[in-house]
Amino acid sequence: MEIIGKRIREQRELQNLKQETLAEMVEISNTHMSQIERGKKEPSINCFIRIVNALNIPADFILRDELKNSSPIFLNDITEKMTQLTNEQVEFVTDLFNVVLLNFSKAEKANE
């Protein structure tokens, strides 16, 4: 629950929302929201849905470490971000990605 709470807090902060503002949007107390963000309380499914809807984020973005098949959310997120880049930026990110993959491959071969 700590990771889930941390992700909720991070998304709230990225959107420059105060904790009490998000709590109001979700119709829970600020204390309850604080407990969720600190991983002390588990939100009900209804509360969780209200949180992700208020933050306008996919639920699996918050749950990605808990889900066995969450890779599509990463791909969707990457694709969405890539569409916002210029052609030069896309080329740079693609080159960087290829370098990372090459280094992963080299590391795997070295560990064999």
pLDDT of residue 77: 73
- Per-residue burial over 4-40, b if 16 or more Cβ lie within 10 Å, else e, is bbebbbebbeeeebebeebbebbebeeeebbbbbeee
Q: What digits encode the pLDDT tens for the residues 54-106?
A: 999 888 778 876 656 555 666 777 777 888 889 999 899 999 988 998 988 88
Residue 62, SS3?
helix
Nearest in space to 5 (alpha carbons), one of 47, 78, 80, 73: 47
Between 21 and 1, whose confidence is greater? 21
All structural domains of the chain, each given as residue ranges with its CATH number in brackets, are 2-63 (1.10.260.40), 71-111 (no CATH)
pTM value?
Answer: 0.62
Alpha-helical regions (H) of 17-86: 19-26, 30-37, 45-55, 59-63, 71-82
